Chain A
Amino acid sequence: MKDLMLKVRNLKVIFPNQMGVLKAVEGIDFDIPKGKCVAIVGESGCGKSVTSLAVMKLLNSPPAMVRVDELVLDGADLKDYTDQMMQEVRGKQISMIFQDAMTALNPVMTIGKQIDEVFIRHGKMDKGEARIATIKALELVGVPEPKSRANQFPHQLSGGMRQRVLIAMAFACMPKLIIADEPTTALDVTIQAQVLDVLSDMQKKHEVSLLLITHDLSVVANMADTIYVMYSGKIVEKAKVRELFLHPHHPYTIGLLGSIPKLSDEVHKFVQIPDAVPHPMFKPTGCYFHPRCSHSTLKCSQVMPPLKTLLNGREIRCFHPQNVVDFEEVAHE
């Protein structure tokens, strides 16, 4: 498919240890169309970061063991790329924005220098040109007084400013794909709103594809085109943002959406999902969500439901999907 920036098929990541095998990612498929923002949403430990690291081929092996059938970036299958080739890809075609800017930035180098380097390496600029580009890039992401800020070290900036610097850096090499792993989780609400705004603006302006990884459905509501919901290493539902929020099919998605308190709520009790996410070493048989699910039947406890594709392109892994509309019959299994 020409209009896909990233196509991932059957990605599996396991971590063998003394007690057995921890299955972090259990064969997931996802697509990122060109110029779109796709989100992977799920709770802590469901395999989001491992997925993004696997796409970048940044997982160390051992301990990780990664298998993938297809990992196609803009038509090129990266599956058999060597480390050296990947380094080229990572700098030029994919860049990443991490949750913790402090570890992503070099603490002993000014932020200006760090962004300059990207321009020098990838934009083939000289030092002077690079600095001009850096200042412009900082300005674009809303860093005030970019000229003097460029001479500051990461620790001299606030969390929100550091995250902006990471965004500026991620866009500096004009990548095809940006992966943002919880880019605003560590930030305060008003700062989070600013940073998401910048990220969304930049993504649209530069028409890059964005893979947004987060545990926060309210963040993706305002950013993403398509959402994949992950639970315990598997994709359980995929839908366009609007469809997912208006007609969530999977009981887990329904539970998550219901448990987010809304400002418009007048209730004094929160809708709760019982129990907790299964331990990754001891996942239940059948559907991983069945012990917490109010719709589960005997079958759910015995057989893992397959991921079905509905006629409108939505995907759902559940024997008892909810809110399904008539026309959404199963396209194929």
Chain B
Amino acid sequence: MSKPIILSMKNVSVHFPVKGALPFSKKRVVSAVSDVSVDIFQGETFGIVGESGCGKSTLANAMIGLVRPTSGEVLFKGNKLYSLSPQEFKEIRRDMQMIFQDPFSSLNPRFNVYQIISEPMKIRGGASVDEMKKRVIELLELVGLSEKDLYRYPSDFSGGQRQRIGIARAIILNPDFLVCDEPVSALDVSVHAQILNLLMELQEKLKMTYVFISHNLAVVKSICDHMVVMYLGNVMESGSTKAIYQHPLHPYTNALLSAVLDVDLDNKKERILLQGDIPSPINPPRGCRFYQRCPYAMKGCVDKKPALIEIEPEHFVACHYINPFAQEEINAGLAKPLNL
């Protein structure tokens, strides 16, 4: 019996218009997220990995109603998120919260801890000051701070502590869906583990579903149940974290994995160095979006977009080269890698 699906995206694309240099120049768009479908199960941690600009934040924002998809559908607990009335949306939105990457700019410096954490509760209304205070103290203790911190200001806290405040604020209304967008990348290295452990503890206690955005593949491996690997707005590989790490199939996933600099000195793996830069998401390649940097790119990769196909249970890959049919063609000498 698999767990129920809490959020599902069907063929979601998000395009942003780009201002052209000339008023009459061809209209251009950034294809930030392109035709992405995912199912997120209740209570799991769902990872989104990929390099800067590949659309991780945009995808997560589309999940929680912050960015309206250009096309496609987002279903949260069975409700079509973008077809709800404003009132319904407001209500459902309380169940979905977000923790931001930068705890320095995401907290209002003129509010004290009590004001910051209680704000969502205040906006919702219906709670007395005493109730709010009690709840804030409860949360402070939950995230490893204390009642003493109630009337202090963000500037009195270290980065890790500020992130704890941000977490307390995000969970005050008991959300069951929490997006963590690079929650530790702005923090000191020695506090990463604290915050990650705290997030996992809270998930256990409060039974939340997490969407966890990260560029650290080692972290994703430890905490995510399912994941997508994105490149230029496309999903390259997706499925159960276990399957993906056991046999990473997409050349991009492999390159990402080999670029993780390990502190394990004796685990000298073959490094795959990708050529070139991440291309611009404005007018991205027609075929596979990764072909320009792919060491296995074939002729077909240039114009034909590979479909995301299930290679083994719970493991999907969008790659012509990995596709067993392409392999047959290669073996038969009908197709051959471009750059090898």
Please give the residue numbers on chain A whose beta carbons come within 8 Å of chain B beta carbons, in ascending order.
Answer: 43-44, 144, 158, 160-161, 188-194, 196-197, 215-219, 221-222, 241-242, 245-246, 252, 255-257, 259-265, 267-274, 276-277, 279, 292
Q: Is A270 a contact of B51 with CB atoms below 8 Å?
A: no
Contact of B273 among A194, A221, A256, A271 (CB under 8 A): A194
Alpha-carbon distance between A219 and B271 when the two chains are bound, in angstroms: 14
Report the nearest B residue to A259, measured CB to CB.
B193
Which of these, B161, B194, B221, contacts A263 with CB under 8 Å? B221
Chain B contacts of A191 at CB under 8 A?
51, 277-278
In the complex, 26 of the A-B residue pairs with CB atoms within 8 angstroms, ordered by the A residue number, are: A158-B277, A188-B51, A189-B256, A190-B51, A190-B255, A191-B278, A193-B273, A194-B273, A197-B273, A242-B265, A245-B263, A256-B190, A259-B190, A261-B219, A262-B218, A262-B263, A263-B257, A264-B264, A265-B218, A267-B222, A268-B200, A272-B191, A273-B191, A276-B188, A277-B158, A279-B158
Q: Which residues of B contact A272 (CB under 8 A)?
A: 191, 193-194, 197
- Determine if B190 and A245 form an interchain contact, defined as CB atoms under 8 angstroms apart: no
Interface mask (B244-280 → A, CB under 8 Å = 1, otherwise 0): 0100000000011111111111010001011011100
B274 proximity list for chain A (CB < 8 A): 190, 193-194
Contacts of A193 in B (CB 8 A): 258-259, 261, 271, 273-274
Distance in angstroms from B110 CB to nearest chain A CB is: 21
Which residues of B sit under 8 angstroms from A265, Cβ to Cβ? 218, 221-222
A160 to B273, CA, bound (A): 13
Asked whether any CB of chain A lies closer than 8 Å to the CB of B192, the reply is yes
**What's the least CB distance linking A256 to chain B, in Å?**
6
Cα separation A271 to B273 with both chains bound (whole Å): 30
Contact B197 A270 (CB under 8 A): yes
Partner of B259, one of A192, A246, A257: A192
Query: B204-238: which have CB < 8 Å to A?
Result: 215-219, 221-223
How far is the CB of A31 from the nearest CB of chain B, in Å?
Answer: 23
| Extra inter-chain contacts (14) besides given A193-B258, A197-B271, CB under 8 Å | A188-B51, A188-B52, A189-B51, A190-B255, A192-B259, A221-B265, A259-B189, A260-B189, A270-B197, A271-B193, A272-B191, A273-B191, A277-B188, A292-B190
B residues whose Cβ falls under 8 Å from a Cβ of A: 51-52, 158-161, 188-194, 196-197, 200, 215-219, 221-223, 245, 255-265, 267, 271, 273-274, 276-278
Contact check, B256 vs A259: say whether CB atoms are below 8 A apart: no
Bound-state Cα–Cα, A217 to B271, Å? 18
A241 and B264 alpha carbons, distance in the complex (Å): 11
User: Which one of A44, A257, A277, A292 lies within 8 Å of B263 (CB-CB)?
Assistant: A257
Q: Which residues of A contact B192 (CB under 8 A)?
A: 259, 270
Q: How far is the CA of A268 from the CA of B52 in the complex (A)?
A: 26
Task: Name A41's closest neighbour in chain B (CB-CB).
Answer: B189
Do B197 and A269 touch across chains, with their CB atoms under 8 A apart? yes
| Nearest A residue to B268, CB-CB | A222
Chain B contact surface mostly: helix
A263 with B277: CB separation less than 8 A:
no
B277 contacts A221, CB within 8 Å?
no
Tell me which of B197, B260, B261, B276 contacts A144 (CB under 8 A). Answer: B276
- Taking the closest CB of chain A, its distance from the CB of B278, in whole angstroms, is 7
Which residue of B is nearest A245, CB measured? B265
Q: Which of B190, B196, B219, B273 has the most CB of A within 10 A?
A: B190
